[in-house]
Structure 1
Amino acid sequence: MKVLITGSTGMIGGAFVPACRERGWDVVGLSRSTSAGRLRLNYDHRIVSSDIMDAEALVRIFQREAPDVVIHMAAQAFNGSSWDLESYTHQANVLGTRNVLNAVRHGCPQSKVLLACSSAEYGDVQPEDCPLIEARPLRPITPYGVSKVATECLGYQYFKNYGMAVYLPRLFIHVGTGHPPATAIQNFARQVALIAKGRSEPVMRVGRLDTARDFIDVRDGVAGMMRLLEQGRPGDPINICTGEAVTIRLVLETLLELGGVRADIIEESSLLRPSDEPLLLGDNRKLCALGWTRRYPIRETLAGVLNDWMKRVD
């Protein structure tokens, strides 16, 4: 069995590598040579340098490699950043996904394809709407969310029109090590590490703290998506989430406690978004029906992220 992972040097793509290797699969990664994910220096897989925006090159690579499974994780992956990178977000996430699907269609049409869809697709929801079921109408309110609705629609189109086995996991917020400080958790952990090391004044600069999110450890998320590939149905969206939500304030307090530091909390206008759902909580019954169970509680996940940043800020 051979698997090709786009964005294999990123956090989620990188977490797929050991999960696939454990199954004895041959792993090939596709990554830009300038990828920020190359924080990791040791890769336990072969990497092909290419860009998902290069449609012709993708067809040649997919024909040559002939993978049995394609896991598409390359993207502009940050909801908050999409406000400043709106054009790039749509180009990478929509056109890039179309290029990958087209390359599979013409290069290895029998391959299973896993597309990284997102909880940001749900968009304009209120706390009383949660937990969110997959059948709920999608009303995205961020450029990223819009791009991920298009990603999922492209996947369904190729599933229906061309008979391709396209799997549609809707990823809630995945948390793990090796990520840039572009999300609240990573940004908080970096600040706590800098304060703990005495390299920054004891001040935490934050955005909204009253929102709540369904955070999932990247290892749990990958385990769920592997279940989907092996036992799920193509063309059928499925939430990849824990079914529990925690507030951003609790995340901040936990990281400060784990770091053993005290700090003043200052709200920064630059960290506030034009719109921000008060609660994103997923219904994971379809995922659990595949035999998935959660292994990593949020406190253990946060401890791992903070320990990672304590090493990275040295």
Structure 2
Amino acid sequence: MTILVTGGAGFIGSNFIRNWMAETEEPVVNLDKLTYAGNLDNLRAVEQSSHYKFIHGDIADAIRVRALLGDFGIRAIIHFAAESHVDRSISGPMGFVDTNVVGTAHLLQAALEHWQRGNPLTFLHVSTDEVFGSLEPDDPPFIETSPYRPNSPYAASKAASDHLVRAYGETYGLPVLISHCSNNYGPYHFPEKLIPLLIYNATNGRDLPLYGDGKQVRDWLYVADHCQALRMILQGGVPGETYNIGGGAERQNIEVARSVCALLDDYVPLVDGSYSDQIVLVRDRPGHDRRYAISSAKLQSDLGWSPTHSFEAGLAKTVQWYLDHRHWTAMVTGGSYRDWVAEQYT
């Protein structure tokens, strides 16, 4: 049997594939469109394996997806493929609708037809805590039954895809699973997101931009812990159920920035001063959620998962990885990336 990973050249998808192949010999097919955040260099360590196959393609290409499901005997789909950056969804929402909503619908239909032909299949849809909206400072964390209140085009597109997945399970009986994760961080994270952006800018003598007052709160999850949770959900999750995956590490953005700077001060100290001197506050983005927090109690009680990395340990490993892989960051931060960052944080 074989699993299909969509969006496997991206940040979480590539970490999942490397993690999967280190833990099992079951083959993996990686279907990825290779948009700006997809990078096959993320998978150089496994690309020669006989248990790995890359296919350059779009989840919205229903004919091709149906063919590869049958050709490879796919028994599970782990669906990462998505446009995922809130800032980009504000400036270009239709791309998020096309990929996250329409693309997921095509993928679900192909999966349903494959399953209805008598093939065993599980569809694991990887979603986000952002579908639940924003929390007040004293609100309890989101749980699986929290109401959906998406506040950005990205979050709304993921909420729509969640509803489609659930509908295919309820209407047709397709074995579906949904996971909601908190903010991930770790190796191979494209440097438009907060932590890799901070590391990249700091080590290149640039401003470290934080939106608004910098006190927005996020729950941080080390990507390897997320991958472990997904493997456990795929193996033991009950079809039709939803599972939240959180790191239990709420931090204000400005706290995260200071923590990154403190590690850099230790690893690659400046001649004078601290990297924290480069922190600047910039105009807040529209509809910026104030706080996310997510409870993993169900996942812990039902499947026995808990994160193995504290935020401090995971962040230290992440900063060190970026320092050791500056060639990777240099490769993915070309002219279009620099132009976008300049426009976004001016």
TM-score (norm 1): 0.92
Letter paired with 1:278: R
SS of 1:36's equivalent in the other structure is: coil
Distance 2:234 2:35 in 1: 29
Q: Is the 8 A contact 2:11 2:190 kept in 1?
A: no
**CA positional deviation for 1:129:** 2.4
Q: What is the aligned counterpart of 1:118 among 102, 122, 128?
A: 128
Letter paired with 2:85: F
Instruction: From the superposition, tell whether residues 43 and 54 of structure 1 become closer, same or farther in structure 2 (CA, over 3 Å).
Output: farther
**CA positional deviation for 1:35:** 5.4
Q: Is the 8 A contact 1:55 1:100 kept in 2?
A: yes
Distance 2:152 2:43 in 1: 33
Distance 1:93 1:23 in 2: 29
Instruction: From the superposition, tell whether residues 80 and 35 of structure 1 become closer, same or farther in structure 2 (CA, over 3 Å).
Output: closer
Q: What is the aligned counterpart of 1:268 among 274, 279, 282?
A: 282
Letter paired with 1:205: P
**CA positional deviation for 1:188:** 0.9
> Which residue number in structure 1 is paired with residue 189 of structure 2?
179
> Which residue number in structure 2 is paired with residue 79 of structure 1?
86
Letter paired with 1:148: K
Q: Is the 8 A contact 2:14 2:42 kept in 1?
A: no
SS of 2:138's equivalent in the other structure is: helix
Distance 1:114 1:58 in 2: 16
> Which residue number in structure 2 is paired with residue 18 of structure 1?
18
Letter paired with 1:28: V
Matched, 1:137 2:147: yes
Q: Is the 8 A contact 2:101 2:158 kept in 1?
A: yes
Letter paired with 1:267: L
**CA positional deviation for 1:214:** 0.7
**CA positional deviation for 1:146:** 0.6
Q: What is the aligned counterpart of 1:309 among 322, 325, 328?
A: 322
Matched, 1:283 2:295: yes
**CA positional deviation for 1:34:** 5.1
Q: Is the 8 A contact 1:213 1:245 kept in 2?
A: yes
Sequence identity, in percent?
Answer: 26
> Which residue number in structure 2 is paired with residue 247 of structure 1?
252
Distance 2:107 2:124 in 1: 11
**CA positional deviation for 1:43:** 4.8
> Which residue number in structure 1 is paired with residue 234 of structure 2?
229
Q: Is the 8 A contact 1:130 1:280 kept in 2?
A: no
- Within a 5 Å distance, the mapping from 1:24-39 to structure 2 comes to 24-33=25-34, 36-38=37-39, 39=41
Instruction: From the superposition, tell whether residues 132 and 34 of structure 1 become closer, same or farther in structure 2 (CA, over 3 Å).
Output: closer
Distance 2:121 2:75 in 1: 5
> Which residue number in structure 2 is paired with residue 61 of structure 1?
68
Letter paired with 1:193: T
Deviation string for 1:122-179 (max 9, x for gaps)?
Answer: 0143223221111111111111111111111111111111111111001211112112
Q: Is the 8 A contact 1:9 1:35 kept in 2?
A: no
Distance 2:155 2:195 in 1: 19
- Structure 1, 232-241 or 114-123: larger mean CA deviation: 232-241
Letter paired with 1:16: F
**CA positional deviation for 1:206:** 2.3
Matched, 1:188 2:205: no
Deviation string for 1:230-265 (max 9, x for gaps)?
Answer: 112122221111233111111101110111151232
> Which residue number in structure 2 is paired with residue 197 of structure 1?
none
Distance 1:40 1:24 in 2: 19
**CA positional deviation for 1:62:** 1.6
> Which residue number in structure 2 is paired with residue 296 of structure 1?
309
Distance 2:288 2:313 in 1: 26
Distance 2:86 2:36 in 1: 18
**CA positional deviation for 1:41:** 5.6
Q: Is the 8 A contact 1:175 1:217 kept in 2?
A: yes
Q: Is the 8 A contact 1:119 1:172 kept in 2?
A: yes
**CA positional deviation for 1:12:** 1.0
Distance 2:94 2:317 in 1: 34
Matched, 1:204 2:214: no
Q: Which runs of 5+ in 2 are unaligned?
A: 47-51, 331-346
SS of 1:116's equivalent in the other structure is: strand
SS of 1:115's equivalent in the other structure is: strand
Deviation string for 1:17-38 (max 9, x for gaps)?
Answer: 1332212211111112555321
Matched, 1:105 2:106: no
Distance 1:308 1:77 in 2: 22
Q: Is the 8 A contact 1:31 1:50 kept in 2?
A: yes
Q: Is the 8 A contact 2:217 2:252 kept in 1?
A: yes
